[in-house]
Structure 1
Amino acid sequence: MLFINTRPQDRAVRLTQQLQAAQIQVVELPLLELIAQPYSAELNSLYQQLNRAQVIVVVSPTAVQIGMQYLEKTGIEVATLTHIQWIAVGKTTEQALLKYGIQSHVPEVESSEGMLQLPILDGLNSNAVVAFWRGEGGRLFIMDHLRQQGAEVLNFVLYQRQCPVQSQQVMAALLPQLQQDDHYVVLMSSEASWLNWLQLLQQDISLISKGIYLVLGPRLAAILGEYRQHHAAAFEFIQLDSLSSDVIVREMERVLGNS
């Protein structure tokens, strides 16, 4: 059974290698690429307020890279932010922050819901200031939740997310195989990825029901569940609590064992 690896190109390699080592056919089809937003007066103003924050939430290695690049541009030293607690949404982001000497909290589930379960966020004062280093359209749920709790949110939109043009070309070549196969497995890590997937299959939406989707976290699982119900689609989905390659390979082997 074909596995479609939708992770961004720079983060797809390890998973692809582990799946291939397990004799599983893999196609890499990134559903998101991240493009830096230009440094602006608005971002500069946010950076000048950063030392007010009790917590900085960093959602991806790309957010680390661009966030630190722009931090340097403002002339602010990382060492002056040691009083702030950092949250990394996932182990890869944690490792990216460690390169700058920053220790961070990591949720067990790499999602907005997982972050809200961290004691550091759960115990915030009502007038707390929380900064988000993120991409356009990402993590709106958790920011809205924190605002409702009385927190002030500093919203650093550091990059845009879009479906890579190359993936549209890969999908065009892949369609005949998807039409022929009974089922395929696809990794789905965000709502933006899901929407791009639907867009890629708009020429043959019946193929959506052939999918077995490995989805990250309960909110994304709920989104797929609602789509399945409203569109009378017949696909399966399996909720993941982590994007660890080991976890994904185990789930894929379980799917193959049940097929």
Structure 2
Amino acid sequence: MLFINTRPVERAQALTQCLAQTHFQVLDLPLLELQALPYTAYLHQLYAQLSDTQIIVVVSPIAVDVGMQYLQESGLLLSQLSHIKWITVGQTTAKRLAEYGIESIVPEVETSEGMLSLPIFKNIPNLKKIAFWRGEGGRQFMMQQCLDQNIEILNFLLYERHLPASTIKKFTQFEQTLAKYEQPYWVCISSEASWHHWIQLTQKNQTILQNCHYLVLGERLYQILQHHSKQHQHCFKIHHIVNLDPNTVLQAMTELERKL
């Protein structure tokens, strides 16, 4: 069977290697390309406000790298942030942050909902200000939940996300070779942005869209796909997973395959 690995190039290798050792064929088809945004006067103003910020939420390894690079450019020392609690959305991001000597809190479920359920949001008295190191379009739900609780948000837009041009070309080539692959095709969708790009890719080939079994990260994304399925009368199958660890993905696919 075919697994379509939609993770960005810099995050796809571990999952591809894990599945390549099984009976699954793997097609690397990244739905997101990440590119750093420039350091601006507005970002400089945001960094200046970190001295009275209580939490920094870091959403990806690239957010760590760009955030730290711009921290240096801001003239602020990492030692001046010793009072801050750090939250990372997943273990990969936590490991990247640890390379800078920073320990972070990681939710069991690697989603916005998972982060919001962390005890830290109840344990910090008078929680007033949270910074988000993120990409364009990401973590809107979590930020809105914080705003609804009257928590001030420092919105660090550090990178933007695109559908890679190489993916569009590769997808066209994939369409021409469909006959050699056994259905269903397995696809991991890790963000709402990835899902929108997948819909964009498959808009002229609804057969592919409907012949996939989707593994989605978290309950909210699961509901988004469910809504799309009902709205457009599609019949694809959806299963949600709690993290993107290669073994988690492989285990979910193996268990679901037995039920086909």
Give the TM-score normalised by the residue count of structure 1: 0.97
**Whole-angstrom distance in 1 between the partners of 2:131 and 2:112:** 14
Does residue 217 (structure 1) correspond to residue 225 (structure 2)? The answer is no
Equivalent residue number for residue 103 of structure 2: 103
Residue 11 (structure 1) shift: 1.1
> Which consecutive unaligned segments of at least 5 residues does structure 2 have?
none
Q: Which moved more, 1:205-214 or 1:107-116?
A: 205-214
- Off by >6 Å, runs of 4+ in structure 1: none
1:188-226 deviation per Cα after TM superposition (whole angstroms, max 9, x unaligned) = 000000000000011112321111000000000000000
Equivalent residue number for residue 62 of structure 1: 62
Give the TM-score normalised by the residue count of structure 2: 0.96
**Whole-angstrom distance in 1 between the partners of 2:126 and 2:33:** 35
**Whole-angstrom distance in 2 between the partners of 1:90 and 1:152:** 23
Residue 89 (structure 1) shift: 0.7
**Whole-angstrom distance in 1 between the partners of 2:72 and 2:64:** 12
Equivalent residue number for residue 75 of structure 1: 75
Q: How many residues align?
A: 259
Equivalent position amino acid for 2:85 in 1: Q
Q: Tell me the C-alpha RMSD between the 2 structures.
A: 1.3
> Any idea what SS the aligned residue of 1:147 has?
helix
> Any idea what SS the aligned residue of 2:104 has?
coil
CA contact (8 A) 1:126 1:151 kept: no
When residues 145 and 123 of structure 1 are mapped into structure 2, their CA distance, relative to the original with a 3 A threshold, is farther
Q: Which moved more, 1:120-129 or 1:196-205?
A: 120-129
> Any idea what SS the aligned residue of 2:176 has?
helix
Does residue 153 (structure 1) correspond to residue 141 (structure 2)? The answer is no
Equivalent residue number for residue 252 of structure 2: 251
1:12-48 deviation per Cα after TM superposition (whole angstroms, max 9, x unaligned) = 1111111011121000011001111111111011011
> Any idea what SS the aligned residue of 2:83 has?
coil
**Whole-angstrom distance in 1 between the partners of 2:44 and 2:124:** 26
Structure 1 segment 185-196 matched on structure 2, within 5 A: 185-196=186-197
Equivalent residue number for residue 173 of structure 2: 173
Equivalent position amino acid for 2:100 in 1: Y
Equivalent residue number for residue 203 of structure 2: 202
> Which consecutive unaligned segments of at least 5 residues does structure 1 have?
none
Residue 178 (structure 1) shift: 3.8
CA contact (8 A) 1:86 1:104 kept: yes
1:87-109 deviation per Cα after TM superposition (whole angstroms, max 9, x unaligned) = 01100110011111101000001
Q: Structure 1 vs Structure 2: percent identity of aligned residues?
A: 46
**Whole-angstrom distance in 2 between the partners of 1:28 and 1:258:** 25
Residue 183 (structure 1) shift: 1.5
**Whole-angstrom distance in 2 between the partners of 1:152 and 1:125:** 15
**Whole-angstrom distance in 1 between the partners of 2:3 and 2:238:** 14
Does residue 89 (structure 1) correspond to residue 89 (structure 2)? The answer is yes
Residue 80 (structure 1) shift: 0.9
Structure 1 segment 39-54 matched on structure 2, within 5 A: 39-54=39-54
Does residue 233 (structure 1) correspond to residue 213 (structure 2)? The answer is no
